Amino acid sequence: MDVISVIRTKRDRARLTDEQIDWVIDAYTRGEVADEQMSALAMAIFLNGMERDEIARWTAAMIASGERMDFSSLPRPTADKHSTGGVGDKITLPLAPLVAACGAAVPQLSGRGLGHTGGTLDKLESIPGWRALLSNDEMLAVLRDVGAVVCAAGDGLAPADKKLYALRDVTGTVESIPLIASSIMSKKIAEGTGSLVLDVKVGSGAFMKNIDDARELARTMVGLGTDHGVKTVALLTDMATPLGLTAGNALEVRESVEVLAGGGPSDVVELTLALAREMLDAAGLKDADPAKALADGSAMDAWRRMIAAQGGDPDAALPTARETQVITAPTSGVLTRLDAYAVGVAAWRLGAGRARKEDPVQAAAGVELHAKPGESVTAGQPLLTLHTDTPEKFDYAQQALTDSYDIGPAGTSYEPNPVVLDRIG
């Protein structure tokens, strides 16, 4: 077996054999296949796709590259959630402690920023002292004590995916259904959760731009999970407009705490509760009421314990940017469009995301929204505030926001997309 033959097979639109898949995943994990060679194969997959059985074998090979976790000793049923990535998508932060407060265990293995979408670990690392890297024993201890943990996948869990995930981010191969599905499901199946709820984003700020592609991705992942004995459902959710009023790291943590305190933007609250109900139902906790757990403070208590258990200080001040710049409304009327992708790219350029896999991120960088589509605005009022520690990035970020919003005349009607567009599974 040699990597050139594997690349050529997919380049020429043929099906990779099981033996080719098993070999190339193993060889890449061991370093026998170089990054540039796997980049070529990833691009061939991006351009030519994979059959359903190829995706299943690719996923199984990535699972087999590492260990499998086991949470059967926990006294609670396990439920996890994964989002395909969006702009302002801070839902994991309030969701994990909320579901834990309702009686489930949430072993949430999360990732870093990928392209224009934010990373949960990058967000949480803006909390002083918080650490993403936990051993398996530490993860299990936090789950026993708190009921929820958000951490990085260990080196032993699907190591092939860990390498490929970072490579896709910097080689233009992120938006591929076979690679997205196998990446997500290899980690989640190896993680050992009993049930899984997928949040598949649809719209300009998502990797799936239209609902048909999103349904295909959702069905692929639900099938992979079900085939491996994990009860899996998917919600298709709107990502034409950013979620909430912030896109960044510390900015989104601050907004998540507002949700746990009983406030926060209505779309963030609605989606958090919708996903919580799906997770609790999948875990067999049909009578639990997540809205009550938000209202009575038990979700906030679980958040504080979860952050402290991972070394963070839930009372510490979050970082703020050294420089800000305000973009104002050029005219009065009704904001009818605010493009999620443009906002995500602007936040990325301000320092909230990465251009290369080894790049650091700025904790305080990002974009703050002062109006959402459907709201009236007045000429000169703030529409967006850009946050960064490196003000030389402002011009580059503003370029991303050119033609990113529309303002209609006063009285213009606006019909928002529903937060949840469909359910698969």
**Out of 168, 231, 305, 354, which one is annotated catalytic?**
168
The full 3-state SS of 65-111, as one line of letters, equals CCCCCCCCCCCCCECEEEECCCCCCCCHHHHHHHHHHCCCEEEEEEC
Name the residue among 314, 375, 301, 352 with its Cα closest to residue 145. 301
**Out of 22, 161, 169, 238, which one is annotated catalytic?**
161
Which region holds residue 244: left if phi is over 0, alpha if psi is between -120 and 50, else beta?
left
**Out of 82, 163, 231, 354, which one is annotated catalytic?**
82
**Out of 187, 188, 215, 393, which one is annotated catalytic?**
187
Question: What token pair was written down for 6?
Answer: 């594997």
Is 372 annotated in the active site? no
Q: What angle do CA 149, 153, 158 make, to 5 degrees?
A: 140
DSSP E strands, 321-400: 323-328, 333-338, 366-369, 376-377, 382-388
Contact 388, 311 (CB under 8 A): no
> Which residues partner with 234 through β-bridges?
198, 424
Is 168 annotated in the active site? yes
Contact 80, 106 (CB under 8 A): yes
What CA–CA distance (Å, rounded) separates 252 from 248?
6
Is 30 annotated in the active site? no
**Out of 110, 126, 183, 186, which one is annotated catalytic?**
183
Is 404 annotated in the active site? no
Is 387 annotated in the active site? no
Task: Tell me the angle at which helices 159-169 and 35-48 cross, rounded to the nearest 10 degrees.
Answer: 80
What CA–CA distance (Å, rounded) separates 195 from 189?
10
Name the residue among 183, 197, 191, 229 with its Cα closest to residue 79. 197
Which region holds residue 208: left if phi is over 0, alpha if psi is between -120 and 50, else beta?
beta
Name the residue among 409, 364, 147, 361 with its Cα closest to residue 246. 364
What CA–CA distance (Å, rounded) separates 57 from 43?
18
Question: Residue type at 224?
Answer: L
Contact 6, 20 (CB under 8 A): yes
What amino acid positions are annotated as catalytic residues? 82, 161, 168, 183, 187
